[in-house]
Structure formats: C-alpha cells, structure tokens
Structure 1
Amino acid sequence: MALHSLVKRAAVVAASAAVALGAFAGTAGANTNAKYVGPGQTNNWTAVWCVQHDINAFSQARGGWYPQLKEDGYWGPNTDNAIRWFQNSLISYTKSADGIVGPLTGDMLLAYGDSSQDGKCKAALPTSS
C-alpha cells in the first residue's frame, strides 16, 4: 500500500476520532443555522474566507498537501477544488465530495483549521451542534 494511502487512511481515522471527541467537548458559538457554503449557495464573504483560511491551515499543518488558496472571501474554482480535496481527504468514505460546506464539512473545518479564528468562523460556518 502506498505511503500516501496510509497517510490518508490515518487522517480519516484521526478525523473520525476528533468528531467523536468534539461531541463531548462542546461547541460554544457554533451555528447550526448558518447557511451552507459552496457552488449554487448564497455565499457570504466571512464564511468563504473561513473555508479558505481553514483549508490553508489544514494543508500547511500537514506539510503543504494542497497549494495555498488566496483568502479573498470569494467562491471560485480554486476554492471549489480545495473543498472537494478536503472532503476527499477526510470524510468522503462516508459522504461524497460534493463541494458544499454543510454541517459535517463545517465541523471538520473547525476541528482541523486555524483555531485562532474560531470565534468568527464558528458563527459563519454551518455545524452539526
């Protein structure tokens, strides 16, 4: 099995554990009413910026797995490709990579993104709790 496949599988296991632990840790400031983000959605600047910023933080923490996105708050093809990559990296074995940031993807972005921005991003991104 290729090293990349092993690393991806390890990330999936770690992500699953983080989601399970997050349910017990609480999500102060999380927004179960935030609108979905992505293609065909009514995207707001802050939510898109949070997606871009958290994907950049996730990638950089793992040695630059994905090219850094321009953090401009606008949904375009680069952001769309990046969120699909993120979904494929962490959650696609239970959900297809659809490019939409709903509660599951929002939870994962908050769990693996830049926690220093959680105040702003928890209010902007959809979450499950």
Structure 2
Amino acid sequence: MYYIAKAKNILFTFFCCCILLSNVAYAQDKSQIAPPPNLPSELFDNTPLTPTKVFDNLYCIGTKSVVAWALQTSDGIILIDSMWDNNDAQLIIDGMEKLGLNPQDLKYILISHGHGDHYGGAQY
C-alpha cells in the first residue's frame, strides 16, 4: 500500500508539472501565429541552461532546445527524458552534480514519448 501511495504522489507531481509547463508555454506563445523563420537552428541549439531547482524536489537540466527533468524521491531519482545522445547524457550528469544530486541515485528513466530528443541519452 505504501508504494502505491508513493507512486501516485510521484505521478501526480509529474502530471502537475506537465500541465503547469504547457500552460506557461501556451501563454507565452499565444501571440505568435507563424513559427519564427530561424526555427530549425533553435531546435538544435545545444547552449546549456543553468541547471535549476524548479520547486520542491523537481529539477530542470538541459539546453535551449531540449531539457530533462530530475525528480528526487526518497527511493532515488527519476529522470524524465534523456535528451539527444551521450553528450547530453553527460550534460545531465554534470547538471545533477551541480544541483547536489548524486547521479548514482538514479533509479528510473521515464521516456515521455518516442522522439529522439527524449530517449537518445537513455542508453548512456
């Protein structure tokens, strides 16, 4: 029973984050009808972002084009998405360390969907 309740709490936190972040993105982009002309370069902008604690036990690590989320639980860290490739996987590890998270505590990688920028670093 304990683990079911814990799993429900983790999933609830994840889905709340997804809803919150999608609403923020929608509110910011509502005025933009056509995609910007430089969209392809933005999609592959590997400029690292500063690893950030978003709130409570949720952290954002990534680049301008794609991010991964680290959710710290009492049983370990759940990584949501793994970005493009091994270089991004190393960026995630470095970001976790900068945030004081131990990469050895990573227990699960949750892939949100089947695009390469979300599962590419998982093998690393």
Give me the TM-score of the superposition, normalised by structure 2.
Answer: 0.38
User: Using CA pairs below 8 Å that are at least 6 residues apart, which structure has the higher relative contact order?
Assistant: 1
Task: Select the structure that is richer in helix.
Answer: 1
Task: Select the structure that is richer in strand.
Answer: 2
